[in-house]
Amino acid sequence: MQHLYKLIHANPRFHELERKRSRLSWTLAVIVLANAFWYIGATAFYPEAGFARFWGEPVGEGQALTWGIVIGLIQTVLFIGMVVYYISRANGDLDALKDAVIADALRAAGEQK
């Protein structure tokens, strides 16, 4: 196993994999955290804070629905959408790259024997 790890580490495609995956994970994680804390912050600082004030406004003249509730629902859909996007990437190009890295390592290990 140690030997395989060395071979994988020497493969530039492995570093491409880790770069791509970490960029994807962290970008999405930051978006989720920013959204969640926007929401939490709005609840905490309403109505003083500017980023929260419009949350209590109705979406239209004579409507009962407020922007805050609309944003809450959009966030729910957004979070699930991001989960779907991550999985499609992870199961698609990232897994293909991972399988290629493993195949490279196994082939190299075979040649050395």
Partner 1 sequence: MPAVRPRLLVGLAALATGPAFAADGVSRSPTAILFFLGFVCSTLLITWWAARRTRTTRDFYAAGGNISGLQNGLAIAGDFMSAASFLGVSGLIFGFGFDGLIYAVGGLAGWPLVLFLLSERLKNLGKYTFADAVSLRLAATPIRSLAACGSLVAVVLYLIGQMVGAGKLIEVLFGLDYTIAVVTVGALMIVYVCFGGMIATTWVQIIKAVLLLSGATLVTFLVLRQFNFSFDQLFRAAIEHHPHGIRVMQPGEMVHDPLSIISLGVALAFGTSGLPHILMRFFTVPDAREARRSVFFAAGFIGYFYTLTFVIGFGAIALVAGREGFLDGAGKLLGGDNMAAIHLARAAGGELLLGFMSAVCFATILAVVSGLTLSGASAISHDLYANVWRKEASEREVVTLSRYATIGLGVLAVSLALLFETQNVAYMVLLAFTVGASVNFPLLFLAMYWRNLTTTGAVTGGIMGLVTAIGCIVLGPTVWVEVLGNAAPVVPYKYPAVFAMLASFSGSIVVSLLDRSPRAAQERADFRHQYIRSQTGVGAEGASGH
16 binds partner 1 (CB under 8 A): no
Query: Distance between CA atoms of 63 and 22, rounded to whole angstroms?
Result: 43
Q: Which is nearer to partner 1, 98 or 108 (CB)?
A: 98
108 binds partner 1 (CB under 8 A): no
CB 37 within 8 A of CB 43: no
In the list 13, 16, 92, 95, the residue contacting partner 1 (rule: CB under 8 A) is 95
CB 47 within 8 A of CB 57: no
Beta bridge partners of 66: 58
Which residues within the stretch 29-68 sit at the binding site for partner 1 (CB under 8 A)?
Answer: 29, 32-33, 35-37, 39-47, 52, 55-56, 58, 63-66, 68
Contact residues: partner 1, CB under 8 A: 1-2, 4-5, 8-9, 14, 17-18, 21, 24-26, 28-29, 32-33, 35-37, 39-47, 52, 55-56, 58, 63-66, 68-69, 72-73, 75-77, 79-80, 82-84, 86-87, 90-91, 95, 98, 101-102, 105-106
